[in-house]
Chains A and B, each alone.
Chain A
Amino acid sequence: MTYHLPALVFLVPFVTAIGLPLIALRDERRCRPVALAALSVMAALSLMSLGSVLNQGEIRYAFSGWAPPVGIEWVADEIASIMVVAASLLALVSLLYSSPFPTQTLQGRSVPYYSILLLLVSGLSGVIYAGDLFNIFVFLEIVALSAYSLVAVPGGRALVSAFRYLIMGALGASFYLLGVAYFYSATGTLNIADLAQRTPGLLESKAVIGGLLFMFIGLGIKMALMPLHAWLPDAYTDAPDTASPILAALLTKVALLVWVRILFWVIGSGDSEQPVVVFSLVWVLGALASVSGVILALSHTDLKRIFAYGGIAHVGLVLIGVGQGSHTGLTAGLFYIINDAVMQCALFLLAGVLVHQYKARTLDDLKSVNIRSSWVGGAFVVVALSMIGLPPTGGFFGKWYIVLSAVENRNYFALVAIIVTTLLTLAYFARVLERMFRSAPKSPQVPDTPLSFRASVAALAAAIMGLGLWSDHIVSVLLEATRGLGR
């Protein structure tokens, strides 16, 4: 039974997504409870799979019983299992939160909406589990196609943003596929475990270097790395408030995870010169992305847009950690990916709550309302602390390990970039918090915060605190899982 868990984690939302048109044939209102049930089952299964992986070691699942590298292999190691648990729980929370939003905005399209949402979640688990580069491409495309259509749901401006995202995303996918083809021509395999044995001797090969760069550009678009980020702020701002938390939490993170897998699991950090060059490229671009991301966040007034640029900056922070090429850096990057997924989900969720309860989309709107709900205010403070990187939140410990890896490498330029990012993050959150907690004299009466809002923001704030308080435990699991990787 435990052997099949990775496949089941993927199949539950996938089959529900396909079957949803039949289940909801008579009554569209069935979609939501069915989707909720599917995601709950998925979360439970992913927790079970994490438990079994932690106790009995990794699961290598061969589809159709064909042994890899001929067959399709899924690898549920500690890292993949932790990421899938994070993804499925975040998806569940963001679906729970969306219940007070009026369904009229979907205009009778709730069947496709929930189908696509479930497809997105199953695709995410596929990207995380897939054990070869081509299947990663397939699942990245499932994720991307679902994301394009989710962004386009509100119509109007969102259509333009979704179209831009589609063009950029298709470009990114093509670059990635081109890189995969180069790797295949050089090594004759796409299975990650196989590649890990063959590439170290081939790092001087032009095909491998070219393939690596193409994959980096392709994934760079998908993870919204700074010069290639243009699609992200528009897409996240215009996406429906119900879907943006899940999109913001996981779209860029899975691309980051794939890139980390390629850097450490495929080419390793080796002893030759080539990977060192790649790693320096990664952290330099990461440093640029983190600093320019926060500067851009400071220059905007739309809340969702500010948070989107904050997310872009955090992608840069992860790359700084990963780019150190060390064991500490890798662990720091992975830990920060989890933290950032939770923080982004929480931020966009709170932005959705502010829109729904207070009609506040921009900083100026925030000035004229009083946030009476201590749930919303409290959760916002916790998320802000974590984004800035203050203890005892998860963000602090994530940043701490990234700083540690930079100091270990005596990489003071990266250190300066992290500090500047932290200070500027403080600056833009100060702008938001100052307007949020200033009392407005003539604020309109606001109905009570619905239970699902309170529950979901509380769950995410608790998760952020939990990631901080148990960071020692989580990091030691990650350190154990990445033993032998990196310098």
Chain B
Amino acid sequence: MIHTGHESMIVRRSAALVIPLVQLFGLYVLFFGQYGPGGGFVGGVMLAASLIAGILVFGPDGQPAATAKKLLKTDGLGLLIFAGVGGLCLIGGGAFLNYSSMQLPGLDDPTRRYLGIVLTQIGVAADIAVAAVSIVFSLYSASSNEVSDG
């Protein structure tokens, strides 16, 4: 599927321009999730989409592909953050993911809830992004296997 990057100058330049913007907007959606539409899932998908666009344009040897490969190693980290926040709430004596009983000293109730939501959203976003990137890599390796078989 992806053997080299895209050759067109226009595509490469505009990708270099658009990808950081997409990432920035992804982060905005991620952190804006408590106040408006958005949140971990959408933010994660946007971050992953920017990386996937980078892999498609700059090829498997480009910088985005290298970053994505490093990201793959953190598979499950997002869910661990999620479960960790939940576990902190459990330790604090509340129900799983009841942010107000999260065990962080020196914080009042609204701040705890705020932090709890942000942290779980970050966890969700990280996990979604890694999952989406790993789908692309598995499709890519499957198609390159076919080439070597043929």
Contacts and interface: CB of A to CB of B under 8 A. Distances in A.
A14 interface: yes
Contacts of B98: 64-65
Interface string A61-81: 111110000000000000000
Contacts of B101: 65
A65 B89 CA distance: 10
Interface stretch (A16-24, A149-157, A245-253, A463-471): A16-24
B94 interface: yes
B39 interface: no
A415 interface: no
A22 B75 CA distance: 9
Interface residues of B, number: 16
A22 B96 contact: no
A64 B98 CA distance: 4
Nearest to B127: A18
A63 B95 contact: yes
B96 A11 contact: yes
A12 to B, nearest CB: 11
A24 to B, nearest CB: 12
A83 to B, nearest CB: 21
A342 B79 CA distance: 32
Nearest to A10: B96
B87 A11 contact: yes
Contacts of B90: 4, 7-8
B95 A64 contact: yes
A4 B95 contact: yes
Contacts of A159: none
B136 interface: no
B7 to A, nearest CB: 37
B12 to A, nearest CB: 35
Contact of A19 (B80, B99, B100): B80
Interface in B80-121: 80, 83, 86-87, 90, 94-101
A15 B83 contact: yes
Interface residues of A, number: 15
Contacts of B87: 11, 15
A66 to B, nearest CB: 8
A21 B95 contact: no
B131 to A, nearest CB: 12
B125 to A, nearest CB: 16
Given A4-B90, A11-B83, A64 B97 contact: yes
- The CB with the most chain A CB atoms within 10 A, among B76, B94, B96, B100, is that of B96
Given A18-B76, A21-B76, A22-B76, A7 B83 contact: no
A65 B80 contact: no
Nearest to A14: B83
A19 to B, nearest CB: 6
A392 B128 CA distance: 52
B95 A62 contact: yes
A7 B80 contact: no
Given A15-B83, A18-B83, A65-B100, A7 B76 contact: no
A15 B79 CA distance: 8
Given A7-B90, A11-B87, A15-B80, A21 B96 contact: no
Contacts of A4: 90, 95-96
A76 to B, nearest CB: 13
A15 B96 CA distance: 13
A65 B95 CA distance: 6
Nearest to A61: B95
A135 B24 CA distance: 34
Interface string A18-41: 110110000000000000000000
A7 B79 contact: no
A62 B75 CA distance: 29
B100 to A, nearest CB: 7
Interface in A47-71: 61-65
Nearest to A6: B96
Contacts of A19: 76, 80
Nearest to B116: A64
Interface in A298-316: none
Interface string B35-49: 000000000000000
A21 B75 contact: yes
Contacts of A8: 90
A8 B79 CA distance: 16
Contacts of A14: 83
A22 to B, nearest CB: 7
Contacts of B75: 21
Nearest to B101: A65
B96 A64 contact: yes
Given A7-B90, A19-B76, A63 B83 contact: no
B83 A65 contact: no
Contacts of B95: 4, 7, 61-65
- The CB with the most chain A CB atoms within 10 A, among B75, B90, B97, B99, is that of B97
B4 to A, nearest CB: 30
A64 B76 CA distance: 22
A109 to B, nearest CB: 14
Nearest to A21: B76
Q: Which 7 A-B pairs have the closest CB atoms?
A: A65-B98, A64-B97, A18-B76, A18-B79, A7-B96, A65-B95, A15-B83
19 contacts: A7-B96, A11-B86, A14-B83, A15-B80, A15-B83, A18-B76, A18-B79, A18-B80, A18-B83, A19-B80, A22-B80, A62-B95, A63-B96, A64-B95, A64-B97, A64-B98, A64-B99, A65-B94, A65-B95
Given A11-B87, A22-B76, 4 more contacts: A11-B96, A15-B87, A21-B75, A65-B98
